[in-house]
Amino acid sequence: MRRKIVVGNWKMNKTVAESRELASGVLAALGTSCSACEVGLAPTFLALDTVRHVLEGSAVALAAQNCHYEDDGAYTGEVSAPMLQAVGCGYVILGHSERRQYFGETDETVNLRIKKVLEKGMKVILCVGETLEEREAGSFEAVVSSQVKGGLKDVAGVSDIVIAYEPVWAIGTGKTASSEQAQEVHAIIRRKVAELYGADAAEAIRIQYGGSVKPSNAAELFSMPDIDGGLIGGAALKADDFAAIVRAAC
């Protein structure tokens, strides 16, 4: 039985003070009602330390939104895996479509980042997903399979990896994939993991859905057999909405 995982990806939102307030609000809204599922928050780099202090003593994990693949050096504007490890991150989101779309990240550089994050003992949330054109052309299976394969190239095992299926056309658009559309792709991803790592690894890996998840659609999405939680953007910026989504996964 896979334990569901719901992570709030705050993207480029909230000052440090606002992040402190939101993290406290999430803890208050969650209460002690849900321990069945794993929960994480991914604020901006700037707010990681502050949010870490808020989360101390709770079961909510700290997550980062990206990281560089070198330990340190002349990479102006970047943050490395050892820095994230030192600040207490348990997870790092990698390969988000916004990183691929706006910052030129590719399966190759995502793969380097994944290896670095695993080497530093943190877990990875690997994001994959097709664009609207790719869906309309019917190539989503090939696109998502090659993102999984390319991202995981030469990665020895997937026990510390969560995959997030996030169709680009559903991110921040209010347009959610139907639970059937999402389930279809989640099953494709699980089959791909089975091909690469065997049936046991595929059965164990958690695959989140992301893209306009809201309190009103979360329960249906999370009831699908291969959907193991969600990566939540917009709705994670409201403590009550995020908590309601977590409860839908419990």
Residues in the chain: 250
Q: Does 211 bind ligand PGA (CB under 6 A)?
A: yes
Given candidates 15, 33, 157, 172, which one binds ligand PGA under the rule CB under 6 A? 172
Q: Which stretch binds ligand PGA (CB under 6 A): 62-70, 101-109, 128-136, 231-239?
A: 231-239
> Residue 10 in contact with residue 237, Cβ under 8 Å?
yes
Given candidates 231, 243, 246, 248, which one binds ligand PGA under the rule CB under 6 A? 231
Cα–Cα distance, 115 to 109 (Å, whole number) = 10
Q: Does 210 bind ligand PGA (CB under 6 A)?
A: yes
Q: Does 43 bind ligand PGA (CB under 6 A)?
A: no
Residue 197 or 229: the one with the smaller Cβ distance to ligand PGA is 229
- Out of 96, 105, 130, 186, the active site residue is 96
Catalytic-residue membership of 96: yes
Catalytic-residue membership of 166: yes
Number of residues this chain uses to bind ligand PGA (CB under 6 A): 13
Locus of tokens 């169709």: 167
Q: Does 232 bind ligand PGA (CB under 6 A)?
A: yes
CB neighbour list of residue 184: distance below 8 Å, 6 or more residues apart: none
Q: Can you spell out the DSSP letters for 226-237? A: T--EEEESGGGG
Q: Does 213 bind ligand PGA (CB under 6 A)?
A: yes
CB neighbour list of residue 197: distance below 8 Å, 6 or more residues apart: 157, 158
User: What 8-state DSSP symbol labels residue 211?
Assistant: S
Alpha-helix residue ranges (DSSP H) falling in the chain: 16-30, 48-55, 81-86, 97-103, 107-119, 132-136, 140-151, 179-197, 199-204, 215-222, 239-249
Residues 130-169 that bind ligand PGA (CB under 6 A): 166
Beta carbon of residue 245, minimum distance to ligand PGA (angstroms, whole number): 10
Q: Does 110 bind ligand PGA (CB under 6 A)?
A: no
Given candidates 39, 212, 221, 228, which one binds ligand PGA under the rule CB under 6 A? 212
Could you list the active site residues? 96, 166
